[in-house]
Amino acid sequence: MSAVLTRRAVAEKTGSPAVVPPIRIVHLGLGAFARSHQAWYTARAGDSANWGIAAFTGRSPTAAIALSRQDGLFTLIERAADGDTAELVGSIVEANDGANVARLVELLAEPTTAIVTLTLTEAGYRLTAAGDPDLTDAEMMADLAALNTGDDPTTPVGRLAVGLIARYRAGAAPIAIVPCDNVPGVGPWLRRGVVALVQPADPDAAAWIATEVAFVSTSVDRITPATTTGDLAIAKQLTGWADAAPVVTEPFTDWILEGEFPAGRPRWEDSGARFVADVGPFERRKLWLLNGGHSLLAYRGIERGHSTVFEAWADGILKTEVEQLWVEARAVLDLAPADVDEWLAAVRLRWQNPRIEHRLSQIAQGGEQKIPARIHAVAAARRAAGLPAGEAGSRVIAAWERYRQVEQQNRQVEQQNRQFEQQNRQIQQSGEAQ
């Protein structure tokens, strides 16, 4: 029988003392990607003993509950084409329900807290393309009011805002905010949104955030599919521990950062993170080539009956379309051709891994937020360079529009079915009453 995974149990089995790093990083958006990426990089830093993470979930507390029972420990399963390997990751030392705003505020006001990382997906920020709070979003509007009344906000950005107000009022030093999502210029974009949220409630805090708090831009990459019940058994087989919250990911990983860390940071470069003066070209490479290719495979692949990236990439027609999309994008990509060739070779190899089940249905979600940065931006750059917008990009947009129409029709059918079922129940209840 496998032992339950806890720090004490690991220490007793290995004979090594249980190491609990002090909390110096707060993370918003505790999901599988955050654990396979930021938590993994932090655990592998040479100074990892000095950098613990307190993580907060989004809408559901499920991950926090499971990880809390394991003292934040989890198994990372690296799924290569020829087999699995596993390691225990111990950088998360506290897992919290995102609704525990009081704990978030307490941590952000602590002088020892140095960094806030975020993984929310593009839509999760609830900001416009310019970075302003989305005033058509009911939850964002509620948070604008909450910051003025002192009520707890419900969106991650609203919670970050109230935490930074608390830090300012506590007189603590500036920190670094590190959003890790597929948004161009994500650091300044998020700064604009946070400052706009804080301004009506506390103009002085807003000025401090605008001028003193560092907002770091990043390019992140590591495909992390959903964990299955079978993966729990694999984690137990590979490690000997009963882990209720393992994470499965691919061997490839990438993290490029631009910005300052006024209160320090872990040595993330020990596991390959790169710190650059301008992350823009790397953002565009990832968004236009990898993510743009993903969108093409998703919308066209679903049309052609495929379920995963692996299946869609094995379709010769779709592979040709993606290669054409890449030709159009790289014509306006400001990186050395040899570097782009090497990077695309890695992408092709990654997509040939049949054991990574990256679902097309997952990629297809949120096209309204994804398509502008992945496809529209390439067309705009090509037109600015005197080139036509591009046939491959237009093909993606057309496929996305067809996908949206089908989804809308499906929603209408579902609504009609619900109404029909409700009418049936009402008729049955009326008959029983007679």
Look at the block and give the residue holding tokens 């910051």.
147
What confidence score (pLDDT) does residue 59 get?
86
Mean pLDDT of 233-242: 96
Global pTM reads: 0.92
- Start-to-end CA distance of the chain, whole Å, equals 59
Tell me yes or no: is domain 3-275 CATH 3.40.50.720.
Answer: yes
Quick one: pLDDT band at residue 427, thresholds 50, 70, 90? low
What confidence score (pLDDT) does residue 19 get?
86
User: Are the beta carbons of 400 and 332 closer than 8 angstroms?
Assistant: no
Mean pLDDT of 308-337: 97
| Bridge pairing between strands 241-242 and 3-4 | parallel
- If DSSP codes are grouped into helix, strand and coil, which group holds residue 258? strand
Mean pLDDT of 27-38: 97
What confidence score (pLDDT) does residue 4 get?
87
Higher pLDDT, 408 or 195: 195
Token representation of residue 238: 């590979």
Quick one: pLDDT band at residue 423, thresholds 50, 70, 90? low
Mean pLDDT of 134-139: 96
Tell me yes or no: is domain 280-410 CATH 3.10.129.10.
Answer: no
**pLDDT tens column, 64-85:** 999 999 999 999 999 999 999 9
What confidence score (pLDDT) does residue 417 get?
65
What confidence score (pLDDT) does residue 409 get?
82
User: Are the beta carbons of 393 and 341 closer than 8 angstroms?
Assistant: no
Mean pLDDT of 25-38: 97
State how far the Cα of 212 lies from the Cα of 210, in Å rounded to an integer. 6
**pLDDT tens column, 216-228:** 999 999 999 999 9
Mean pLDDT of 315-333: 98
User: Are the beta carbons of 48 and 93 closer than 8 angstroms?
Assistant: no
State how far the Cα of 205 lies from the Cα of 208, in Å rounded to an integer. 5
Q: Domain-by-domain residue ranges, the chain?
A: 3-275, 280-410
What confidence score (pLDDT) does residue 236 get?
96
Please, what is the average pLDDT of the chain? 94
**pLDDT tens column, 112-131:** 999 999 999 999 999 999 99
What confidence score (pLDDT) does residue 3 get?
83
What confidence score (pLDDT) does residue 426 get?
64
**pLDDT(428) > 80:** no
| Bridge pairing between strands 217-221 and 214-215 | unpaired
**pLDDT(433) > 60:** no
**pLDDT(161) > 60:** yes
The dihedral region occupied by 390, where left means phi > 0, alpha psi between -120 and 50, and beta the remainder, is: left
Mean pLDDT of 159-163: 98
Quick one: pLDDT band at residue 331, thresholds 50, 70, 90? very high
Please tell me what DSSP assigns to residue 49. G
